[in-house]
Amino acid sequence: MRRYPRKALRGTLGLAIGAMTAVAEFFYVLFGGIALAIPALRPSVFAGARALSELERRRLEKYLGAENATDYTGRRAMAYLAPRCVLGLLSAGIFVLILFGAGSGVIIGYQLLSGRAPGGEAPADWYDPVTTTLFGALLIFLSIQGLLGVTTLERELARRFFGPSKKEQLRRRVSELSTSRAEVVEAVNGERRRIERDLHDGVQQRLVALGMLLGRARRTGDPDNASELLRQAHEESQRALKDLREVSWRVYPIALDSDGLHPALEALAERSGVPVHLRVDLPERPPAAIETVVYFVASEAVTNTIKHAAATLIDIEAERNGDSVRVRITDDGTGGARESGGGLSGLARRVAAADGEFTVHSPLGGPTVVTAVLPCE
């Protein structure tokens, strides 16, 4: 929760800086527009416009979190400064009104505490504090809305003029595809290592124990002892089959292909050692690749919860949200999970390989919320 006040203060500071630079930009646009009539001065005017626009771009990136491309021309920078200075002057007007309102609020508050009516020497009526409080709350609300509106317009204006060119878009897409390919390879290698570990530590050990029991049953000369050993061998074979089914289910559940995501998640909930509340709202089946990612996000999150969170309840929600599918897993455990952890980092790579978004919110003491949003056009 602490990051939200810091973010709001940083954004307000960014708007205040933009309000001050808008004055210089206004005069630059005014006199620069006149200088553009002289062809010899145009390169210098465009260069200055680009320098001012670059300051604004960096301000938006640092204080408002708006990242934009740098491959824009001086002519485009000049076109950006014209509406930008008007928007900056608008934010300056909002700050002036806020300061004026704050000063007026201090004066009115002092008058009310002194027993006088606001703005006069007459005694205060009973409704004066109530009216003043409601009116002040309304002005505060309008001021905040004004700042939020200017912030949105600042971002949209910068995106309109500083948006990446086709060359920049292609470069970013190639970078994203290269990263996704590396993440797919890493995710596949991680799955192979996990399967090998499960087979080695689980099924293989069961089969070794089964072979030893059968060998002892063959060598014993006591029929009663042989019968007991065969009984133990039979039980060990059942455990080996159970472990093998668990491994095969974690590799890829057959129900996902035959019945879809909902039955597969139901089976996951039934197999969980912690009570699971499941809610699936998918009017139609997503593509098979998306179903697979959603299932494994839920499966790995449930497994991590059972192993590390000491939770008593798990909620799984899978729903269609426009052109995307969102799955969210919430538990009431101890919290402290990190996206960089072994299991969750593998899920993050798997989701990123599908061009999705993966987030983990897990404060100490819980709850832990794992969310994946996958495109599903």
User: What per-residue confidence (pLDDT) applies to 180?
Assistant: 64
What Cα–Cα distance (Å) separates residue 242 from each residue in 229, 237, 248, 298? 20, 9, 10, 21
State residue 247's pLDDT score.
67
Q: What is the pLDDT of residue 3?
A: 64
pLDDT score, position 252: 64
CATH code of 255-375, in short, is 3.30.565.10
End-to-end CA distance of the chain: 34
pLDDT at 188: 65
pLDDT of the residue at 364:
83
Give me the pLDDT at residue 88, please: 93
C-alpha to C-alpha distance for 33 and 28, rounded to whole angstroms: 8
- Reading the chain (377 residues) residue by residue, the pLDDT tens digits are 556 788 888 889 999 999 999 999 999 999 998 998 898 999 999 999 999 999 999 999 899 888 787 778 888 899 999 999 999 999 999 999 999 989 988 888 888 888 787 776 777 776 778 888 898 899 999 999 999 999 999 999 988 888 766 676 777 777 767 766 666 666 666 667 777 777 777 777 888 888 888 888 888 877 888 888 888 888 888 887 877 766 665 666 666 777 788 888 888 888 888 888 999 888 888 888 888 888 888 888 888 888 887 888 899 999 988 888 999 999 888 888 777 666 677 788 778 878 888 888 888 887 888 999 988 76
Distance CA 179, CA 339 (A): 17
The model's pTM is 0.52
Write out the two tokens for 142. 């309008």
DSSP element (H, E) containing 321: strand 314-321
SS3 373: strand
Q: How far apart are CA 14 and CA 7, in angstroms?
A: 10
Contacts 24+ apart (CB under 8 A), 180-183: 180/352, 180/353, 180/355, 183/349, 183/350, 183/352, 183/353
Q: SS3 for 235?
A: helix
